[in-house]
């Protein structure tokens, strides 16, 4: 089964579940939880850098989904709507990760000149084979680098490069323009590349 066909099948099943739950089959909500709890936990861990915060975010997300599911509009994908709730919770969370800097960094210095093209390709670390990314040292460095980003940049790079949402989907999830997504993503990628370049330059 191709990726697109598999994704379409998941989306169709999501819609079926939402319709059934809103029609009174509340017992099926547990299937929604099983389908997304691990994915949301991993998203929360990348955003928060703390297991307890990630667990709290997952619980709060599903509580909100259950509460507002009747208001879901089918013109958007359920997964996008779900991540919009999760992202909002992560962004509003006040406790700062131990990896975050004492004061918020500025990414202005990582911006290209105005006439420079904005690259659409993934940075080198995002294209590495899975076994390379699973390297414990690199995983820790990458997570710490991502956590050190201001939240508005962190959430964009996680949604685009790690969760693999499209630019349009990321814009929809965060309720911002696509051009804004591209600018934030470019700044975040340049910053992460700068933070990680020492690892690769030394032949790790």
Q: How many CB atoms lie within 10 A of CB 168?
A: 11
Alpha helices in 49-129 (DSSP H): 51-68, 78-92
Upper half-sphere CA count for residue 202 (Cβ side, 13 Å)? 6
Count of domains in the chain?
Answer: 2
Residue 74 or residue 139, greater confidence:
74
What range does the domain containing 53 cover?
3-92
pLDDT of 204 above 50: no
The reported pTM is 0.78
Per-chain mean pLDDT for the chain:
81
Do 82 and 40 touch, CB atoms closer than 8 A?
Answer: yes
Q: Are 188 and 157 in contact (CB under 8 A)?
A: yes
Q: Is residue 98 part of a domain?
A: no
Q: How far is CA 185 from the centre of its chain?
A: 12
Query: Does residue 103 or residue 77 have the better pLDDT?
Result: 77
In a shared domain, residues 124 and 81:
no
16 and 71 co-located in one domain = yes
Last residue within a domain, chosen from 92, 118, 147: 92
Q: Is residue 81 domain-shared with residue 112, that is, in the same domain?
A: no
If asked whether residues 24 and 79 sit together in one domain, one would say yes
């Amino acid at each position: 089964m191709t990726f697109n066909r598999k994704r379409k099948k998941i989306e169709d099943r999501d819609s079926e579940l939402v319709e059934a739950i809103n029609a009174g089959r509340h017992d099926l909500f547990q299937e929604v939880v099983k389908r997304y709890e691990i994915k949301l936990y991993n998203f929360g861990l990348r955003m928060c850098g703390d297991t307890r915060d990630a667990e709290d975010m997952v619980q709060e997300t599903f509580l909100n989904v259950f509460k507002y599911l009747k208001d879901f509009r089918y013109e958007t994908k359920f997964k996008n709507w779900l991540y919009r709730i999760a992202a909002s919770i992560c962004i509003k969370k006040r406790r700062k990760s131990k990896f975050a800097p004492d004061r918020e960094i500025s990414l202005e210095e990582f911006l290209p000149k105005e006439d420079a093209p904005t690259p659409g390709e993934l940075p080198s670390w995002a294209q590495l084979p899975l076994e390379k990314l699973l390297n414990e040292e690199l995983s820790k460095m990458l997570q710490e680098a991502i956590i050190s980003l201001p939240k508005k940049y962190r959430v964009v790079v996680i949604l685009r490069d790690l969760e693999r949402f499209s630019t349009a989907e990321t814009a929809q999830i965060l309720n911002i323009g696509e051009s804004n997504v591209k600018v934030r993503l470019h700044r975040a990628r340049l910053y992460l590349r700068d933070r990680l370049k020492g690892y690769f330059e030394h032949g790790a």
